[in-house]
Amino acid sequence: MTKILTTQNAQITTATVEVKTLTISGKQVTLSVFRQLREKPLLADDLTLNGTPWGYVNYHPDKCGADDEHLHVVWQDGNDLFRSRFDKPAWRGEYFYSDWADDAVQGRYCANGHRTLDWLRFVHVWQVAHPYDSGRFRLEGILCETAGRPSGHGSPDQCMSEADQKEAWEGLRADVIEEAARRERLRAQWRDLSALPHLFIAV
């Protein structure tokens, strides 16, 4: 049953908002002091943290406020404080290239009798030094690319062997699975860092 709002059952409550400020020796950090924090990557190459994050500051010292969504995280390494920019992971239009990609696609092309592969499309990439046709396809949910078109052969014995075809495809698939796991770790780090306290600093 829907309750009707009346003066008898309505009331006003006051919410308590906790504001966390970044201070040094009891004094609130200012914009100029924040800019003096050295910039150092919070994430290591293996996507683990290089130190302990304190929180993020909604201030863009490098005039990057109009960039895609990102955080400026304050973090601790030993007795030192640093700041680090962390961009929200996004792979729109970003294609993953594996060293196995060209051979893997060539192997599938040979196995298909040098006929068009329905799942492979080509885009001409314009580069001043070396324009080329990039093959684009999706594998394990990841957009992948090759560095060129597969080629036909004058005789079947010039084609890749079945063993080489299998090795190349399995190598490509392993790289793609590893890339998918890397991207998920980045998403998890973004979720964790976004949940950190918002630290306020003085103007």
- List the single range of 125-134, 144-153, 160-169 with lowest mean pLDDT: 125-134
Half-sphere exposure of 120 (CA within 13 A, CB side): 21
Average pLDDT, the chain: 85
d(CA 84, CA 73): 5
**Judgement on whether residues 126 and 82 belong to the same structural domain of the protein:** no
Q: With the C-alpha atoms ordered 200, 201, 202, 203, is the resulting torsion angle positive or negative?
A: negative
Alpha-carbon distance of 137 to 135, in angstroms, equals 7
H/E run at residue 82: strand 80-87
Is 132 in the same domain as 67?
no
CA-CA distance, 193 to 73, in Å (whole number)?
Answer: 8
Is 117 inside a domain boundary? Answer: yes
Q: Is the pLDDT of residue 12 over 50?
A: no
**CA 134 distance to own-chain centroid:** 22
Which residue range(s) make up the domain with 181? 101-186
User: What ranges in 9-131 are assigned the alpha helix state H?
Assistant: 31-36, 101-111
> What's the pLDDT score for residue 201?
79
Does any domain span residue 79?
yes
Task: Tell me what percent of the residues of the chain surpass a pLDDT of 70.
Answer: 90
- How much is the pLDDT for 65? 73
Number of domains into which the chain is organized: 2
- Asked if residue 35 belongs to a domain, the reply is yes
Cα gap 112→119, rounded to integer Å? 12
pLDDT at position 58, please? Answer: 85
Comparing 65 with 101, which gets the higher pLDDT?
101
